[in-house]
């Protein structure tokens, strides 16, 4: 934005057009503006007048009086070809455009000569125009025209503003500075007004004359940029609460984002003025928030105004509406194209708030059904959503090809470490979860992609640019998928830019924070995680060596958590220590090593002594926030007293909300709140995650209901599942096998014969094994029969666990339809075996592990699985021998392990049928970072806001003997590692309800009541057979007393 454009914005902010509105019919207003002159500066003024004139309940009428009316009008329409679709353009009484819907404004161009006589006639024709702007490109002519306008009697208050751009010395030699220049310039005009009024018989309405365009806009630009950055910060955090603040600042300075947010920021004054708010800063923020509480309908009205303003800004910049929705996310475009200048959201929206999207609208839209009462913007939002879904589906193959290409490059070049390849697999896993419509996976993907780019930049060498280009291509290919699963509501964006005005006016981006150490570690972490300060200083009182040691451990955990979350915060610790302990604590040198901690001697434990220490320190600091949640009472009282003297904002946190310490009201303008993912919650509680199974269940997102229904209705499922696992073990035939020899000094040449298809997958795996010293000298030879022989040297013995760690990812990646195991032969040699997902010639009728009933039920079960597409190529011969192939590794695991299917059913029910922020399954973790840490596994964890569910799944016939232990275990884990956690036991062997014999009504079963007494929610059979599990889990998290009562009414 040029300095002159910014000067125009500043003038409109200081002299509000809304003050010059006149009443019209139907509780509306008219805002007649008159622009006089010609040239590029008048064009700029016209554009700013159109955008700043977008006000609630206001009809904007702009008249441009110029010597070349037709040329000026045509020039405007050439620059903004679709402006006429939303604005009525009239030139010399000839209508040049008729808008498709209600016009946002009326533009009238009139031919005039810039002389006093013509100006007098012009103002007589436009007697209601009380806001005049003049620009001709000549300062003296601007002043003369302003004088001529000022001499025309006005029936109402009139404001006249003219452009002055010449340096002071050239315009008026007697002006020594900018202020003198304004004074002299305006005095000349005002003297002409006064002379005319003295000659008249009566005094007309007052006339105000101003000049603009000359002032230094540096300070105004800096202040507006701060507000614009806060708007962008609020918008970005609403889209992805985990986007790092440094990344947000970087995105803000991109030209498109910078200009869009700056335009929104300068229009805030106009919105506030229409609400009767003329104050600035925090006072304006408080008044506006109180007004929204009293008049909530104002939010929809102002959001519609913001959408109109944005539309006019884009239309004047030459953008046009998109006529073909299939063009989004093609040829380098997103939902807009800067190159071709189109945007899909250039459609009008409803101002009444009657049109809004429901959860059902998104689902119905995917079926091609749109509600008739939706406005154009809501309908366009759903059309974009559908198109993004189609693009995401069409791009799946391209995404897999890109991942495979990057993987091959990393594998084939020794410069890339194993850690880099592991990060790539994590990126691939997060993409799989995104394809499961898991919105929380987007933030995980962004974090891992950033880490991968960093590693490639450090290790890539000559391949760096090539790989970074592939990653950028991958990211752009995934863009429609990210938008599809986020269900981006474009109307909510306009509401956000209005709702966050108080935040934008008051927020300090990356503030300096003082945090009083809490008795709960989570409180310390939460303030840093939410506010993302540039620097934080912890203050506390340590009265023993043991307490100092505990705080040191807390500092290490805090630093590790922030590092894992990608938050860069400079931390320092100030601990008050009784004087008599100072000498002994300084001897604990190991505690203070690599720790930015200052021990401050405390003469006595009194408020006066603590205040004196804090006062001396706060005098030299630049901190703006003081967070006091859970602090020591003495430190709390002293800090509040001292903070008030230094103007710090004091607040505390409760259940994720920020509260003002002084009046216990919610802090007026907190940063947009983040909701914790499972990973973040576990990390904040000190746990170290070792495994998550969520990304391994991709193929089940379509099949989980069918597979669960088959498992639930098969009485002998557990026995049959075990039998199929054994059958697979006995009939498996490895198509690749190599030996790890017993002695380190031994080495032997091995040759593997395989087909070309298998070799394509195995060669990258073998090369990766070679990098870690397990094999060497890999060579390939084309055979006459069209196959390939792979020759390699197998080296010495290695730890099987180490081999398993390195091979697990690679075998599953390159052979997704296979799996691998280790085996030892009679000589003690360790084999790695890679198998196909097949059961071959299983003579189940001869299987002594199967009961008669199970043998009779197995063929029927396999036929049902094939009909559901869960197994393929199922055959049964006359000898009662069966063969088939599993649909995928995930399906095989669920069928062969009885409990896995219930975990998968819970996972997908919570993920796809409930409104949780994050869901993970198969969570394995260490309790802490120590070598002897205990390890546990939780079947499913769900989070929403700052609450969580810890779910244990039991798919067994009976659980009576272990019932009490299971309740104790899940209750204990949720208490230690959850945040506002509720333990849940999902057990298929228990009933949810039983009938009360005395009343005949349904009540909770004995097991459900027993579990509830121990603080555990038990979910039984009835909730698992009616496809209502997602709603039940949501009700539990929301702490509803009737969390499952609705299930009994479904019988």
Q: What is the 3-state secondary structure (H, E, C) of 137-201?
A: CCHHHHHHHHHHHHCCCCCCCEEEEEECCCCHHHHCCCCCCHHHHHHHHHHHHHHHHHHHHHHCC
Q: Is 573's pLDDT higher than 50?
A: yes
CATH class of the domain comprising 508-668: alpha beta
Question: Can you give the residue ranges of every domain in the chain?
Answer: 3-67+112-219, 232-391+495-499, 397-487, 508-668, 700-887, 898-1048
Q: Is 819's pLDDT higher than 70?
A: no
Mean pLDDT within 777-797:
67
Percentage with pLDDT > 70 across the chain: 83
Q: Is 734's pLDDT higher than 60?
A: no
Q: Domain 898-1048 belongs to what architecture?
A: 3-Layer(aba) Sandwich (3.40)
Q: Is 19's pLDDT higher than 90?
A: no
Calpha distance 315→83 (Å, rounded): 6
Please, which pLDDT band fits residue 63 given cuts at 50, 70 and 90?
very high
pLDDT tens profile 395-437: 988 998 899 888 888 877 878 877 788 788 888 888 888 888 8
Is 790 in a helix, a strand, or coil? strand
Q: Is 176's pLDDT higher than 70?
A: no
Which one is predicted more confidently, 794 or 148? 148
Nearest to 211 by CA among 183, 230, 192: 183
Mean pLDDT within 923-934:
80
pLDDT tens profile 519-542: 777 777 777 777 778 888 888 888
Which one is predicted more confidently, 526 or 446? 446
Please give the pLDDT value at position 688: 83
Q: Is 175's pLDDT higher than 90?
A: no
pTM for the model: 0.75
Please give the pLDDT value at position 743: 43
Please, which pLDDT band fits residue 268 given cuts at 50, 70 and 90?
very high
Q: Is 644's pLDDT higher than 50?
A: yes
CATH class of the domain comprising 3-67+112-219: alpha beta
- Tell me the H-state helices in 500-599: 501-506, 521-531, 545-564, 579-586, 589-592
Comparing 338-347, 626-635, 819-828, 866-875, the range with the smallest average pLDDT is 819-828
CA dihedral angle for residue 274, residue 279, residue 284, residue 286, rounded to 10 degrees: -110
Please, which pLDDT band fits residue 739 given cuts at 50, 70 and 90?
very low
Mean pLDDT within 321-327:
87
Please give the pLDDT value at position 338: 87
Which one is predicted more confidently, 83 or 620? 83
Q: Is 783's pLDDT higher than 80?
A: no
Please give the pLDDT value at position 3: 85
Please give the pLDDT value at position 186: 47
Q: Is 668's pLDDT higher than 70?
A: no
Q: Is 949's pLDDT higher than 90?
A: yes
Please give the pLDDT value at position 821: 60
The chain-wide mean pLDDT, for the chain, equals: 80
- Angle in degrees, 0-180, between the axes of helices 700-712 and 898-913, rounded to the nearest 10: 130
Strand order in the sheet with 734-740: 734-740, 830-836, 818-824
- 360: CB partners within 8 A, 6+ apart: none
Q: Are 973 and 942 in contact (CB under 8 A)?
A: no
Please give the pLDDT value at position 771: 66
Please give the pLDDT value at position 199: 45
- 392: CB partners within 8 A, 6+ apart: 435, 478, 480, 481, 484
Mean pLDDT within 603-626:
82
Using the CB atoms, write b or e for 403-430: b if 16+ within 10 Å: beebbebbbebeebeeebbebbbbbbbb
Mean pLDDT within 977-987:
90
Q: 508-668 and 898-1048: same fold?
A: no
Please, which pLDDT band fits residue 822 given cuts at 50, 70 and 90?
low
């Amino acid at each position: 934005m040029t300095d002159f454009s910014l000067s125009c914005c500043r003038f409109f902010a200081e002299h509000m057009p809304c003050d010059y509105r006149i009443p019209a019919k139907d509780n509306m207003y008219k805002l007649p503006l008159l622009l006089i002159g010609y040239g590029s500066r008048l064009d700029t003024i016209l554009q700013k007048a159109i955008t700043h004139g977008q006000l609630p309940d206001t009809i904007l009428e702009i008249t441009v009086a110029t010597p070349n009316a037709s040329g000026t009008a045509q020039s405007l329409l050439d620059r903004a070809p679709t402006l006429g679709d939303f604005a009525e353009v009239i030139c010399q009484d000839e209508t040049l455009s008729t808008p498709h819907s209600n016009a946002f404004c009326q533009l009238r161009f009139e031919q005039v000569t810039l002389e006093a006589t013509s100006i007098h006639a012009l103002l007589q024709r436009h007697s209601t125009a009380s806001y005049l702007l003049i620009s001709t490109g000549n300062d003296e002519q601007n002043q003369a025209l302003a004088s001529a306008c000022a001499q025309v009697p006005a029936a109402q208050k009139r404001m006249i503003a003219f452009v002055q751009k010449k340096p002071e010395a050239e315009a008026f030699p007697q002006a020594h500075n900018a202020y003198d220049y304004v004074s002299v310039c305006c005095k000349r005009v005002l003297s002409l007004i006064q002379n005319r009024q003295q000659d008249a018989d009566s005094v007309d309405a007052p006339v105000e004359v101003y000049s603009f365009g000359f002032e230094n806009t540096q300070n105004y630009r800096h202040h507006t940029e701060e507000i614009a950055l806060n708007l962008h910060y609020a918008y970005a955090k609403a889209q992805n609460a985990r986007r790092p603040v440094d990344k947000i600042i970087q995105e803000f300075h991109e030209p498109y984002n910078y200009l869009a947010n700056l335009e929104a920021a300068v229009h805030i004054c106009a919105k506030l003025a229409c609400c009767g708010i003329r104050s600035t800063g925090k006072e304006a923020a408080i008044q506006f928030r109180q007004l929204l509480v009293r008049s909530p309908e104002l939010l929809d009205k102002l959001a519609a105004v913001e959408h109109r303003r944005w539309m006019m800004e884009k239309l004047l910049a030459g953008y046009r509406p998109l006529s073909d929705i299939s063009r989004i996310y093609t040829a380098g475009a997103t939902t807009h194209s800067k190159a071709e200048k189109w945007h899909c959201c250039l459609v009008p929206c409803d101002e009444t708030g009657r049109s809004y999207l429901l959860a059902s609208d998104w689902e119905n839209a995917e079926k091609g059904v749109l509600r008739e009462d939706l406005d154009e913007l809501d309908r366009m939002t759903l059309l974009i959503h559908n198109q993004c879904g189609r693009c995401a589906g069409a791009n799946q193959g391209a995404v897999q090809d890109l991942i495979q290409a990057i993987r091959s490059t990393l594998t084939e070049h020794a410069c890339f470490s194993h850690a880099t390849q592991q990060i790539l697999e994590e990126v691939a896993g997060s993409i799989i979860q995104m394809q499961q419509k898991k919105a929380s996976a987007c933030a995980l993907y962004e974090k891992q992609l950033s880490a991968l780019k960093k590693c490639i930049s450090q290790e890539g060498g000559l391949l760096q640019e090539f790989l970074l280009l592939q990653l950028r291509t991958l990211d752009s290919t995934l863009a429609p998928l990210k938008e599809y699963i986020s269900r981006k509501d474009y109307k909510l964006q306009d509401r956000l830019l209005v709702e966050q005005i108080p935040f934008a006016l008051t927020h300090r981006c990356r503030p300096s924070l003082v945090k009083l150490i809490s008795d709960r570690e989570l409180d310390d972490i939460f303030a840093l995680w939410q506010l993302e300060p540039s620097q934080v200083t912890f203050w506390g009182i340590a009265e023993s060596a043991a307490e100092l040691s505990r705080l040191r451990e807390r500092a290490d955990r805090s630093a590790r958590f922030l590092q894992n979350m990608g938050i860069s915060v400079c931390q320092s610790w100030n601990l008050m220590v009784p004087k008599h302990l100072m000498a002994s604590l300084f001897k604990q040198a190991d505690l203070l090593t690599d720790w930015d901690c200052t021990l401050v001697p405390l003469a006595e434990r009194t408020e006066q002594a603590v205040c004196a220490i804090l006062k001396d320190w706060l005098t030299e600091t630049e901190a703006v926030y003081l967070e006091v949640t859970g602090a020591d009472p003495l430190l709390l009282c002293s800090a509040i007293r001292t903070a008030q003297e230094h103007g710090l904002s004091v607040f505390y946190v409760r259940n994720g909300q920020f509260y003002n310490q002084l009046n216990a009201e919610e802090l007026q303008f907190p940063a947009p709140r983040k909701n914790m993912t499972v990973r973040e919650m576990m990390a904040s509680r000190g746990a170290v995650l070792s495994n998550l199974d969520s990304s391994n269940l991709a193929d089940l997102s379509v099949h989980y209901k069918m597979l669960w229904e088959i498992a639930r209705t098969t009485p002998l499922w557990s026995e049959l599942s075990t039998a199929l696992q054994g059958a697979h073990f006995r009939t498996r035939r490895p198509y690749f096998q190599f030996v790890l020899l017993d002695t380190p000094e031994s080495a032997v040449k091995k040759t593997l014969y395989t087909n070309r298809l298998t070799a394509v997958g195995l060669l990258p795996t073998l090369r990766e094994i070679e990098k870690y010293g397990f094999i060497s000298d890999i060579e390939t030879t084309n055979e006459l029969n069209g196959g390939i022989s792979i020759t390699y040297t197998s080296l010495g013995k290695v730890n099987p666990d180490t081999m398993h760690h390195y091979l697990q990812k690679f075998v599953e990646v390159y052979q997704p339809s296979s799996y691998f195991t280790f085996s030892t032969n009679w000589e003690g040699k360790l084999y790695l075996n890679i198998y196909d997902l097949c059961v071959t010639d299983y003579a189940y009728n001869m299987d002594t592990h199967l009961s008669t009933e199970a043998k009779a039920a197995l063929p029927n079960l396999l036929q049902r699985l094939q009909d559901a597409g869960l197994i393929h190529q199922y055959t049964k011969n006359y000898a009662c021998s069966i063969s088939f192939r599993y649909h995928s590794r995930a399906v095989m695991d669920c069928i062969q392990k009885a409990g896995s299917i219930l975990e998968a059913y819970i996972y997908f029910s919570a993920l796809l049928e409930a409104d949780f922020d994050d869901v993970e399954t198969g969570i394995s973790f260490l309790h802490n970072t120590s070598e002897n840490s205990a390890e546990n596994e939780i079947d499913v964890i769900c989070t929403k806001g700052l609450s969580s569910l810890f779910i244990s799944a039991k798919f067994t016939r009976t659980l009576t003997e272990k019932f009490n232990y299971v309740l104790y275990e899940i209750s204990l884990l949720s208490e230690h590692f959850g945040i506002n956690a509720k333990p849940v036991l999902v057990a298929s062997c228990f009933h949810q309800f039983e009938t009360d014999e005395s009343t005949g009504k349904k009540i909770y079963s004995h097991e459900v009541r027993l579990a509830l007494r121990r603080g555990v929610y038990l979910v039984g059979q009835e909730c698992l057979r009616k496809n209502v599990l997602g709603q039940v889990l949501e009700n539990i998290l929301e702490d509803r007393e009737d969390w499952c009562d609705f299930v009994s009414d479904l019988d």
